[in-house]
Amino acid sequence: MSDYRAPVKDMRFVMDELAGFKELSAIPGYEEATPDLADAVLDEAAKFAGEVLAPLNRIGDKEGCKLTANGVTTPTGWKEAYKQFCDAGWNGISSPADFGGQGLPDTLGIAVKEMVCSANLSFSLGPLLTTGAVEALITCASDELKAIYLEKMVTGEWTGTMNLTEPQAGSDLALIRSRAEPQADGTYRVFGQKIFITYGDHDMTDNVVHLVLARLPDAPAGVKGISMFLVPKFLVNADGSLGARNDAYCVSIEHKLGIHASPTCVMAYGDNGGAVGYLLGEANRGLEYMFIMMNEARLGVGLQGIALGERAYQQALAFARERKQGRDALTGEALVTIDHHPDIRRMLMLMKCRVEANRAMTYYTSGLLDRAHAATDADEKKRQLYLAEFMIPIVKGGGTEMGIEVTSLGIQIHGGMGFIEETGAAQHWRDSRITTIYEGTTGIQANDLLFRKLMRDQGATAKVVFGEIHATTKALGASGKPELQAIGLRLGAALKAWTDATEWLAANAKTGLSGVLTAAVPYLHLAVTVTGGWFMAKAALAAAGYLEKGEGDQAFYRAKIATARFYADQLLPQAYSYAETVKAGDAALAGMGEEIF
C-alpha cells in the first residue's frame, strides 16, 4: 500500500477560494482563524495523518477488532495512536473552547478530518461519532449533564455513539421498540437491543457515552413517540470519577466487508435490571435531537467518500507511474509506464476531478455552517443554514457514491494486482462500500433533498443556487479565455437540464408521487453532477486570476483549469441524461404488478 500525503495545496486553495476561509477571520468568534494558523494546523495534521495513522490502516484491516470477556479490543497501535490524537487536540478542533475545544471554524476542521479519514477510515469513525454526540449534547442536554460529560467528550477522554437501529427497525425508526422506564430519582431504566453501533465498545477510552433512542411508557406511536437518552458505559460519581458499570454491553461485533478495525457492535441494554439513562431535552423529541447528530454525521460520511477517493487516487497514480506495460500509442516507444496510455490517463483524471469537485462542495458547505453559526442577523443565519442543509444530501450522496466509483477505478488501474489484497487497492473499495448505506442510504438522501430541502420553501433555496451557478456561467463567458468559455457552455447546458428536471418534479409532486419517488435518486445524481461542475468552474476562474497576475504556483493553477475542463467535457454532459431519466419517472411500470419482477 502506498504512503498517504495530504493534498494540502488543494485543500488550502479550496478553503480560500471556494469556501471563503480567508474572510472568516473578520467574523467575530473566528478572529484567530488566520492563514498562518491554518498553514500551521494543516502541516501538523498532515504529518500526524501520514506518519501515525496511515501506517496503521493495513494493520487494522488485517487484525480487526475482537470481543473478549472484558469487552472489545482494537488492533495493534490503536490505543497509542488515539492518545496521541487527543493529546494533540485534534478531537476538539472545531468544538467550543468553553468545553475544552479549540473553537476553530469547521472550514479548517474539515480539512483535518479529511486527512484523518484518508489515512485511516476505521480510526476516524470514533471521533466522527463523538463530534456528533457533542453537538447533540450542546443543543439539548441539561447544564448538569453538560458539566459531567461534555469536556471529556470534546477532548476525547470519553467517546460517544448514536444508537438508532434495531433488528426490526432499520431506516424506519417508527418501529423502534427500545423502552425507558422513569425512576423515582429522575433517571430512567433503558431496555432494548441496538445493532450496527459504531464504536459501541472499545479499549481506547475508559468510558463510552451512548445516545439512545427509546420510548417512554406513555409515548405516542410512531416517530412522534421517540425520546433520546444518555446512557454511559460507566456511571459517573459526584466527584467526576467513574462509578459502577452500567447495564449496557456489547454482546457481539459484526464481521464486515470493510472497515474491519471499526468495532460495529450489537448493544444490549437492560439485560440485568435496566441500564441507567438520563433524558436529553424534552420527551418525545428524540428524533429531532438525533438529527443534529445525523446532519453532522452525513457531512462527515460524505467527506469519507472524498477521503477514500483521494487515497485511492494517490495509490493508483503511484502504481501507474511505476508499472511498465505495452507500447506508447503516440510515440511507438516500447515498455512504457502505464500512465502514458490514454485510457489510464482518462481514469486517473476521472478520479482526480471527481475528488476535487466533491471536496469543494463539502468545504463550501462547512463554510456555510460557519457563517450560519456566526451570523447575528436572523435572516442571514436562516439563509446560510438553508443553503447548508440543501447541500448536505448532495455532499453525502455525491461524496459516497463517488468514493465507491473512484476506488473501483483505482482497482481497475492496478489491473489484476488490484484484486490482490496485498497491494491494498481493494481495501479502499471495501471500506468505501458502507458509506452509501450508513447515516442514510442514497435513496434516503435523495428523498431528503427532494421533499425536505427542495420543496420546504417552494424551491426558493434551490433558486438561489441556480442563480449563483448562472452567474458563474456568465463570468466564464465574459472571461475572453477559450478554455473558460468552453467550461461555461457545458455548465450552462447542464444547469438548464437541472432546472428543467426540477420544474418537472414540482409539477408532478402531488399527482404523480410514484414517478417522483422513482426519479429521486437520478435527480440527486443530477444535482451532484451540476454542483460539482459549478465548483470546478469557480476553481478554474480563481486559478485563471492567479495565472493572469503571475502569482503563486503557476503549474498548479494550469492543472486546476485543465482538470475543470476535463470535468466539464467528461461529466457535465451526463446531466442531460439524468434529466431525461428524472422526467421519465416510472412510466415504464404503469399498469404493471409483481409479474414484472
DSSP assignment letter at 273: S
Closest CA to 125 of 74, 168, 77, 70: 74
- DSSP H/E element including 584: helix 574-584
**Beta partners for 213?**
228
User: 527 is written with which cell numbers?
Assistant: 444535482
- DSSP H/E element including 230: strand 227-232
Secondary structure class of 66 (helix, strand, coil): strand
Q: What value does the CA radius of gyration of the chain take, rounded to a whole number of Å? A: 24
Hunting for cell 476516524 — which residue is that? 124
Spatial distance between the Cα atoms of 105 and 109, rounded to a whole number of angstroms? 6
User: 363 is written with which cell numbers?
Assistant: 468545504
Secondary structure class of 253 (helix, strand, coil): strand
Secondary structure class of 181 (helix, strand, coil): strand
Spatial distance between the Cα atoms of 41 and 294, rounded to a whole number of angstroms? 27
CB distance 295 to 392 below 8 Å: yes
Of the residues 114, 157, 439, 548, which is catalytic? 439
User: 331 is written with which cell numbers?
Assistant: 510515440
Q: How many CB atoms lie within 10 A of CB 80?
A: 12
Spatial distance between the Cα atoms of 214 and 219, rounded to a whole number of angstroms? 10
- Does residue 439 have an active-site annotation? yes
Those residues whose C-beta lies under 8 Å from the C-beta of residue 146, and which sit 6 or more positions away, are 99, 137, 138
Distances (CA, A) of 587 to 48, 514, 583: 53, 10, 9
DSSP letter string over 301-316?
A: HHHHHHHHHHHHHHHH
Distances (CA, A) of 253 to 68, 200, 234, 265, 464: 10, 9, 20, 4, 45
Spatial distance between the Cα atoms of 341 and 173, rounded to a whole number of angstroms? 50
Pairing of strands 208-214, 159-163: parallel
- Which residues are catalytically annotated? 439
